[in-house]
Amino acid sequence: MKAIGHVNLAVEYKKLNGLFIGIEVLVWIVGIGTLLAGVIGISNIMLIVVKERTKEIGVKRALGAVPAQIIGQIVLEAIFLTSISGYFGLVIGIGLLEALDSAIGNSGEMFTNPTVDLSVAIKALSVLILSGAFAGLIPASKAVAIKPVEALRTE
């Protein structure tokens, strides 16, 4: 039986399929980690914004602003920040794909015409914006916790 060579393509397919599943899991882990780092970054930026605007928040609260208005302002700023950065990231990513496509040209056999599906890009941007809204909630709750009298006394 050793004289006849044979190849079991099912075994090779399973190995290759396992490799691609591993790569997909790795991409998800990197993507989620990047998203979490972005959420933490936006949250830190918004915490600094709240700290710098303590007097402004105190004046608004003293003039009768309800907590929902303060929360809405902070969350809206966080959403704006993530929307702008997500849009620029999407534009840069598409630009890089177009540059890669023109560099490869017709010489590439496996990677011809690299593109991103528009629905995938919109879903990714939506997840990013929702993450930005979530990132603004912690600083917004800290802003609401500021007492108007104490906010006006701070330097």
Over the stretch 69-82, which tens digit does the pLDDT of each residue have? 999 999 999 999 99
What is the rounded average pLDDT for all residues in the chain?
A: 86
What confidence tier does 2 reach under pLDDT thresholds 50, 70, 90?
Answer: low
Measured CA to CA, the distance from residue 71 to residue 144 in angstroms comes to: 7
Give which of 120, 101, 99, 119 is closest to 111, Cα–Cα.
101
Give which of 34, 44, 58, 70 is closest to 148, Cα–Cα.
58
- The one-letter code for the residue type at 125 is L
Total count of residues recorded for the chain:
155
pLDDT computed for residue 151 by the predictor: 76
Is 129 exposed, middle or buried, given 0-12, 13-18 or 19+ CB atoms closer than 10 A? middle
pLDDT in tens, 16-59: 999 999 999 999 999 899 889 989 999 999 999 998 988 888 88
Note whether 70 and 145 are within 8 A (CB).
no
pLDDT computed for residue 80 by the predictor: 93
Name which of 50-64, 94-108, 119-133 the model is least confident about: 94-108
pLDDT computed for residue 19 by the predictor: 93
| pTM of this structure | 0.77
